């Protein structure tokens, strides 16, 4: 019974976090600063989630360095989030084959 209650509470909280911005902000964001800010949120989240794991938990820090370098270069070239993540994975894989 406790588990079901926990799942329901988590589902409600998750739904509210996702639904509130849509209900509160119905108009398009017109501020260039905010548009610029929101455009880089996915990259910041990707970095915050993967960077600590890459640098501290990885088996080979050289592979992590190559993956990080590839991700930075692709992000600076304004590639999509999927392209950046895939490029970093491919760079780490290739570095692992070489080193």
Which are the contacts of 79, defined by CB distance < 8 A and separation ≥ 6?
87
HSE-up of residue 5 (Cα within 13 Å, Cβ side): 2
Mean pLDDT of 7-19: 92
- pTM for the model: 0.58
CA distances from 12 to 2, 6, 17, 67, 81 (A): 15, 10, 9, 37, 28
**Minimal CA–CA distance to 46: which of 70, 17, 14?**
70
Q: What is the pLDDT of residues 46-82, one digit of tens each?
A: 788 878 877 776 778 888 889 889 989 998 998 988 9
């Amino acid at each position: 019974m406790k588990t079901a209650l926990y799942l329901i509470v988590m589902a409600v909280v998750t739904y509210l976090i996702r639904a509130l911005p849509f209900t509160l902000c119905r108009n398009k964001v017109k501020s260039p600063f905010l548009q610029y800010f929101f455009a880089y949120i996915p990259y910041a989240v990707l970095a915050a989630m993967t960077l600590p794991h890459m640098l501290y938990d990885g088996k080979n820090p050289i592979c992590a360095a190559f993956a990080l370098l590839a991700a930075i270069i692709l992000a600076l070239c304004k590639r999509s989030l999927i392209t950046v993540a895939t490029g970093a994975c491919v760079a780490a894989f290739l570095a692992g084959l070489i080193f």
